[in-house]
Amino acid sequence: MKPSARSTPLLLKLVLFKKLVEAGVLFVAALLSLAGSRHYQQLPQLADRLGTGHRLVLEALARQEMTMSPGRLEITAIAAALFAVLITVASLATLGQRPWGEKTLLVVFLTMLPLEAWDLVREPSWLHGLVLALTLLGTVLVVGELRQATRARQRTGSR
């Protein structure tokens, strides 16, 4: 099936660019977390080496409470990496006007909405509000694009 002749709106392209950047950051964080889970057992030696000269680092580690086990950290890192790949595939497919791209992107947006809303409730900040607003905007834009595509298919089907 050939791609449609319609173009992706500029506003949606900007939201997709944000999603691609977000996916890149998420993927890098996932890789770093995965590497961290591999070296989890070495944290006490690292703390000993840092000593009193790096008290701020030690305090930050203590504040984080290090409650995540290596196995749980590894699973979280793998899930985050897979989600980053899904975001990237959905964004690029939408930009490439693949018929399934917008549907996949809508699933990504709908998956992220509750998480971003929870972040805003848990830690209210303008940044969390902006991220939630952009996700809502992206959701509305993708739903609009899907409706427009459905109407165009119905028009061509009724001829």
In a domain, 141, yes or no: yes
User: How far from the centroid of its chain's Cα atoms is residue 37's Cα?
Assistant: 21
Which residue has 């009193």 as its token pair? 52
State the average pLDDT over residues 34-63: 55
User: How far from the centroid of its chain's Cα atoms is residue 124's Cα?
Assistant: 19
Question: Burial of 20 by CB count in 10 Å (0-12 exposed, 13-18 middle, 19+ buried)?
Answer: middle
For residue 2, name the pLDDT band (cuts at 50, 70, 90): very low
Better-scored residue on pLDDT, 8 or 70: 8
Domain count of the fold of the chain: 1
In a domain, 5, yes or no: no
Identify the domain containing residue 15 by its residue range. 10-157
In a domain, 145, yes or no: yes
In a domain, 38, yes or no: yes
pLDDT recorded at residue 1 = 43
In a domain, 3, yes or no: no
Q: Is the pLDDT of residue 52 over 80?
A: no
In a domain, 1, yes or no: no
For residue 28, name the pLDDT band (cuts at 50, 70, 90): confident
Instruction: Supply angle C-alpha 52, 56, 59, rounded to 5.
Output: 95
For residue 65, name the pLDDT band (cuts at 50, 70, 90): very low
